[in-house]
Amino acid sequence: MSKKVVLAVLVVVVVLGIATGYFVFAKSSKNGEKFASGAEGIASVPPDASLGGTLSYNDEAGYSFRYSAKGNIADITPNSSEYYSKVKISYPDKSGEVSIIVRDIADSSVESWIKNNADAPKDSKVKSGSSLGGFSAKQITFSKDGEKFIATLAVDNNILYYVQSPTDTGFWDDLHNLIVSSFVVGGKPSPVDNSGSTEGNTFYEE
């Protein structure tokens, strides 16, 4: 075989190799773009989209959270030195409401408070460990008057942070998770002179 023939064969092999490599790379890149595009599309969907938009609530006692804008929020803090804040969120088309409480307690842990206080949920089951306002928390489920509830609780320096709502593996659970995940505490709560209104508390549209 002449040198020219050998050289021609080598050139053809090299060209085929380059073409094959380019085809594989182009196909891989295209698939990668499809995957990236799909992942971006999923990530761009807000986790609370089913709640119909959200509002941010900032309480004078020093905490804030987000909740579904469809709700009506009211300050119902008792006239007691033990309470920093108590608010409820209700929805016209839903049965039940969310309760959020920040108050002083004698106990230094969630377990101790549940055990020692008559107003704590009884026969509750620990669903999982959680976090609330940057504090280690417990998430429990319990029943009362035939209704099922979920609550997320944290205790820090003998201050109880408590979020309770109905549980339904749907709207209420989504709302509960939104409030808990967005709950922020800005230092030690300050006692507030409340008269049962939300005046002084601020709302921000998301």
pTM of the model: 0.70
What does the pLDDT read at residue 23?
A: 47
120 pLDDT above the threshold of 80: yes
Instruction: Report the pLDDT value the prediction gives residue 8, as an integer from 0 to 100.
Output: 56
Give strand pairing partners of 163: 100, 152
Amino acid at 10: L
CA dihedral (109, 112, 117, 119) in degrees, to 10, reads 60
For position 51, what pLDDT does the model report?
Answer: 82
Average pLDDT, the chain: 78
Cβ-contact 136, 129 below 8 angstroms: yes
Q: How far apart are CA 118 and CA 30, in angstroms?
A: 63
The residues pairing with 65 across neighbouring beta strands, listed in sequence order, are 57
Task: Read off the pLDDT of each residue in 169-176 and give the average, rounded to a whole number.
Answer: 93
Coil, strand or helix at 168: coil
pLDDT at 108: 95
pLDDT at 125: 86
SS3 (DSSP) at 29? helix
Average pLDDT over residues 7-11: 54
Q: What are the tens digits of pLDDT across the range 173-200?
A: 999 999 999 999 986 665 655 444 445 5
Is residue 77 within 8 A of residue 85, CB to CB? The reply is yes
Q: What is the pLDDT of residues 18-77, one digit of tens each?
A: 655 554 444 444 333 322 222 222 223 344 556 888 999 999 999 999 999 989 999 999
